[in-house]
Structures are given as structure tokens and as C-alpha cells.
Amino acid sequence: MQPKTLFDKIWDAHVVKQVEGGPNVVYIDRHFIHEVTSPVAFTGIENRGLKVARPAQTTATPDHNVPTIEQDKPIKDEESRFQVETLEKNCSNHGIQYYGLGSQNHGIVHVVGPEMGYTQPGMTIVCGDSHTSTHGAFGSIAFGIGTSEVEMVFTSQCIMQPKPKTMLIKVDGELSDGVTAKDIALYAIAKLTTSGGTGYFIEYAGSAVENLSMEGRMTLCNMSIECGARGGMIAPDQTTFDYVEGRPFAPKGEAWDKALAEWKELKTDSGAVYDAEFHYNAADITPMITYGTNPGMGVSVQGNIPSGADLEGTDRISFEKSLEYMGLSAGQQMLGHPIDYVFVGSCTNGRIEDLRAFAAFVDGKKKADRVTAWIVPGSKVVEKQAQEEGLVEVLERAGFKMREPGCSACLAMNDDKIPAGKYSVSTSNRNFEGRQGPGARTLLASPLVAAAAAITGVITDPREL
Amino acid sequence: MPIDKFETLQSTAIPLPIENVDTDQIIPARFLKATERKGFGDNLFRDWRYKKDGSQNGDFVLNDDRYNGSILVAGKNFGSGSSREHAAWAIYDHGFKVVVSSFFADIFKGNALNNGLLPVVVSESFLEKTFDAIEKDATTKLTVNLEAQTITNQALGLSESFEINPYKKECLLKGYDDIDYLIHMKSDIESFEKK
Ligand code: SF4
């Protein structure tokens, strides 16, 4: 038999049909939905007189526009409240499990799925959100879809997709202290650019990746979309199995043993060929930060903004426009630049390990007065864990307050907006113009870089504090 | 929702010579609160079209009276970022039928095709020449022929063929969508589940 990549094995096992001259009809094991990209799809199937075909394979949680304070009170913003209520009503009409505000399992959809054990190796997983790629950390094929495709999954539990090409990103060696999964992601995107992965599905491998915790792996896979790839995945191993075992929706007893035996087979065969390969050395990666308005515009925190001298035509126009928006100049050093906000959260870095890293760093120090910090746990479960582990106390002693779970300033659909012109060191995944509020200036970084900036009020290398 | 049929389109075009236009620029997240697929065109490129005080930004091309038409010509890597289909809806709702660029982000391309908006990939040189031509003469027309898979700039005598998946082409020409197809596959899907 022809050796196969992990991606090919899982994909091929889910193809219901190859449409002649067209896409594959791909069966979807798990569908996550949230309030923003689902309402039109529900209306669509209802207009056709249909019901959701496999409600038990669908899970819902409102996250994009929920407030992150006073979640026990009704949502003040009328449109947001209506969207959230619409999701709840649609779920109850169609028999879909809904974790709403007030539920102890509420949170960002990509944090809730894994922690509830819905996300498992070997699955196909979709959601109307591009960071669905997060779930690939478990050795599943997980990717974001549009609302028309949400409607397809509702109708048939399938979507129609051409098969992507495969890419291997191998990171070998040991990460230095202060370097995290987020830095690997920002490093790889800076190398690949925001379109370098378009048309591909990434598999991450190598010893630096294998040594990451599940949280770190989720951070890395989460950002796959930022180089244009549909998703990223990591072959499941003991770290994965240990994480999944015992979670509410994980297989139990005999079913667990059977699943485990199957999951252990989920790896790329030796001799399998990828359509593209990139090899990086973990030792070359330092704490990273972005300076521009796309996630590919990243440099080492110790570095300078590129001069842009080699750019021509529209490349040059885009580069200049981006720096103008950011209020930064070509060649400028990043260290020491004053910042105004710190945002720790999102489906990229809103997990317990991120809060632990942030809290450990600020322990015994004090937040800089000029900095407003928003620490937003990814879910109620994370929030509870942070309380139980005493992280909340550590944070409060250092002058930080934790908010309630949601997407928050990652996309600023709720009130958590960075004001125009202000600089925010954010652990989220996108630094587009206006992403964190009209005129907001986002510098993407790891929770450690965010912590160092929160303490000093300027861009700082966390290894030097 | 069935999509509109697409055969041939001849139109003037609106130039947007900016690279990496992401979906947050096409439609900012704060306008995604609707539960119906209506009116997104009003907020297309919202933060570029309007100044902070709410007045129109005369420098932005959509506010420039010289330019109109149902073809948007954009710099490379158009539509990167979020999977929000609202981006394709907003462009379509604003009256565009075709977006031309030298490179599209994957999800955007899929979303566009699912909504009757045709993404046409052209070479860098075709794109540069087209930007130049439109800049010199805003009445420059482009012709997109889906059946023949060609895009032509008559004035310049410039023509290129573009790729489209044959299945997607058929859908656009006939005005079908994938959901109609999947509904007819019900029994195949059920037997797949039993395997
Ligand atoms: S946290 Fe940000 S990236 Fe993640 S699902 Fe929410 S809005 Fe999307």
C-alpha cells in the first residue's frame, strides 16, 4: 500500500463521494456552532422545510459577542442579545446541546470543545469560524467553514470541499526558556507570509512540537489559518490520550480501549510524501511580536521593523499603509515602545496554561499604571480552575482583574474595544486594522511577552525581567 | 438559498490596489450582529468608506464618482482572515458580481462561489495592467465569460483564461447550490454512516 500522510488517512476515511470534476463530499463527525455564523443557516434550512439532520453531532455556545462582565445580567446591547437568544431558540427547536451564559461549561467554542472531550483524534470537525483549526491539535481534521457550509452540515452532516494539499512543518530541537508555542506560530507565519499556506493543510511535527502540552499544541494549530492554510494538525500521542481520557464526552470503558487502539494508528506512514515541507530549528526561535497589520508581520521582540527597502509596487504601498496605521516606522526597534493595553485571552491563548504562565510571571510584581489589562479566561472551566489554583489572587496582588469568558477584545464585537490609536499587546491571533476596535493598534505576542509589557508599560523581552 | 445564474458580464470596474485585504476590512466584526442575510452591502469596507466622525471619506474608491460597475479589482491575497461569509454577502449585496485578483484566500473563495460571486484569478501582470488602465480611464470595461472561462480587457486587447472547478462552474451557470446536491445524496450519506 502507498504510504499515506496522517491528513490523507483521516480525509480519505471521511469521503462519502468524489463528485465528478468537483469537490469531495466529506462526512463531518463534529459540528460546533456559535451565534454569529449560524442564524442565516438555520433560516436557510427552515425555508427548505428541513430540520438539523444530526443534532447530537452539533454543539453550540455563544462567544463572539457576549459581554465579559456581569454575565448574570441580561446582555445590554440589543443586537447582541437578540443574536444570542436566536442561537438558544434555534438550538432548542432543533435539539442541539447549548452551553449558554450561566452554564458552568460556557466559553469560547474552541476552548469548550476540547475541554468537554467532544474533540477527539481522527475526527472531522468544522465550525463557522476560521480558528476551528485549533482542534487539529488532537490529530483531527478541523477547519473553518462559511455559513452556506454550516447550512450544508445542518442539512446533511456533510460539506463539499476539494481535497487540500499537504504541508509538513517540522520544528526540531529544544525551545529556549521564555519561548512558547505562540512564538513558534508567529515565527512560522513570518517565514511563510499570510498566504504561504493557502491551499494546504499543515501537519506540525518534530521534537519541539512533540514536547508541547495540549494547550501549546492548540495554540500552534489555532494560528495555522493565519498563513492561509485551512488547518493544522499534530499526530496524537500519549500527551493527547492523557488529555482526552476522562473528559465528559470522551469514550469510556470498552469504547475507550477500542478508540485508543485506533488512535494509536493515526500517524503519517514513513515514506509518505507531503506537497510541501518546511524545517525549522527550535533554537532559532525567540519571543516574537508583530509590528504590522497582518500576522505575518512579526519579528523577534529584540528585533527591528524591516526597512522595506526590498519591496516594490503594491507590496510597498501595503507595507507603508500598514506602518502608518500602526504609527510605527520602518527600521524602528520594538523594545521600549510604550503600550497602553494588554489583552490576554482568546482561543489562541485563553487556556489555563496561558493564565498560569502569565500569573507566574507577574507574581510579586506590579502592573504598570499606564497599562489597562484585560485578562479573559477562555471558558468557565478555565475561570474556575484559575480560582482554585490561586491564580486569581496572584493576579489581583499584581494589580490585574480577571473578566468572564468570551471572545472579548479578540474581535471586539462586544464592549471590549481598544480605543483608536492605542497600542495593545494581545495574545489573540489577528492584528488586522480595526480588529480590536476602530483604529486600535494590535501587537500580537505570547502571554509571557504580554506579561512583561504589562509590568513595564513598554515592549519588553520577558527573558530580561 | 438558490444562487443567481451567471453567464457573461461586461462592466466597468472599481480598483482597490491594496494587498491582503482581510475580511475585517471587508466587513468589520461589529456589523455581524444581524440574524438575517440582508443589508450587509451598506457596511462594505465600512472603516475605509467613512471617517471616524461618520462622514464619507472622499479618498476611498467606493466614494469616488468616477468609478462604478459590478467588478471589483483587488490586490493579491484578497479575503484573508476570518471565515465570515458576511464578507461575500456584503460584496455581492453592494452590487458586485465578480472580484478579480491575482490571489484569493481559500475560505473567501469558497464562500464567494457559494453565493454567486465569481472570484477570477488573473496573473500579476494582467492585474497590474488592469489597475493602470482603470486609473487612466475609469470607463475601461472588462468582460468575464464564465462558459469560456476568459476575462478580457478589450481596450488593451488583453485576455486571459481563468480556472474554476467544473462542478462549481456548472452550479453558477445553472444557479444551483451545493445544498440541493447534498439533499439528493441522503441515502448515500446514510449508508456511509452505517459503515
Ligand atoms: S477568540 Fe477570537 S479567534 Fe477565537 S473564536 Fe473568538 S473571535 Fe474567533
Inter-CA distances, A277 with A105, A198, B5, Å? 39, 14, 40
Single-letter amino acid, residue B21:
V
Instruction: Check CB contact of B177 with chain A, cutoff 8 Å.
Output: yes
Q: Would you call A151 exposed, middle or buried from its count of C-beta atoms within 10 A (0-12, 13-18, 19+)?
A: buried
Residue A196 has pLDDT above 90, yes or no: yes
Nearest by Cα to A445 from A339, A298, A323: A298
In angstroms, what is the span from residue A425 Cα to ligand 1's centroid? 16
Measured distance CA(A170)–CA(A277) in Å, rounded: 8
3-state helix vs strand vs coil in chain A, percent to 5: 40, 20, 45
- pLDDT at position B33: 84
In angstroms, what is the span from residue B81 Cα to ligand 1's centroid? 11
Q: Is B8 helix (H, G, I), strand (E, B) or coil?
A: strand
- Dihedral sign for Cα B95, B97, B100, B106, please: positive
Q: Would you call A48 exposed, middle or buried from its count of C-beta atoms within 10 A (0-12, 13-18, 19+)?
A: middle
Bridge partner residues of A277 (DSSP): A168
Q: What is the pLDDT of residues B47-91, one digit of tens each?
A: 999 988 889 999 999 999 999 999 999 999 999 988 889 999 999
Task: State the average pLDDT over residues A98-115.
Answer: 97
Nearest by Cα to A6 from A236, A268, A205, A262: A268
Q: What is the pLDDT of residues A412-444, one digit of tens each?
A: 999 999 999 999 999 999 999 999 999 999 999
pLDDT-derived band of residue B32, with 50, 70 and 90 as boundaries?
A: confident
Cβ-based neighbours of A310, under 8 Å, separated by 6 or more: none
- Higher-pLDDT residue of B190 and B35 is B190
Measured distance CA(A218)–CA(A201) in Å, rounded: 15
Residue B2 has pLDDT above 70, yes or no: no
pLDDT-derived band of residue B4, with 50, 70 and 90 as boundaries?
A: confident
Q: How many CB pairs under 8 A join A and B?
A: 190
Q: Is A339 helix (H, G, I), strand (E, B) or coil?
A: coil
Residue B139 has pLDDT above 70, yes or no: yes
| Nearest chain A CA: its distance from B15 CA (Å) | 12
A242 C-beta neighbours (distance < 10 Å), count: 10
Task: State the average pLDDT over residues A238-249.
Answer: 98
A410 near A442, Cβ under 8 Å?
A: no
Angle of the A352-362 helix axis to the A214-222 helix axis, nearest 10: 100
Among B33, B80, B185, the residue with its CB nearest the CB of A25 is: B185
Nearest by Cα to B170 from B90, B113, B126: B113
| Nearest chain B CA: its distance from A420 CA (Å) | 9
In angstroms, what is the span from residue B83 Cα to ligand 1's centroid? 11
Q: What is the pLDDT of residues A342-391, one digit of tens each?
A: 999 999 999 999 999 999 999 999 999 999 999 999 999 999 999 999 99
pTM, full prediction: 0.92
Among A22, A79, A412, the residue with its CB nearest the CB of B167 is: A22
Measured distance CA(A240)–CA(A214) in Å, rounded: 7
Using a 6 Å cutoff on CB, does residue A108 contact ligand 1? yes
- A341-344 and A423-426 as β-strands: parallel, antiparallel, unpaired? parallel
Residue A193 has pLDDT above 60, yes or no: yes
Q: Do B32 and A64 touch (CB under 8 A)?
A: yes
Interface of B with A in 138-157 (CB under 8 A): none
Instruction: Check CB contact of A277 with chain B, cutoff 8 Å.
Output: no
- The ipTM estimated for the assembled molecules is 0.87
Residue A136 is classified by DSSP as: G
A142 near A136, Cβ under 8 Å?
A: yes
Instruction: Check CB contact of B82 with chain A, cutoff 8 Å.
Output: yes
Measured distance CA(A445)–CA(A298) in Å, rounded: 9
* Cell numbers representing residue A236 in the block: 496524537
| Nearest chain B CA: its distance from A124 CA (Å) | 13
> Residue for cell digits 493595553?
A341
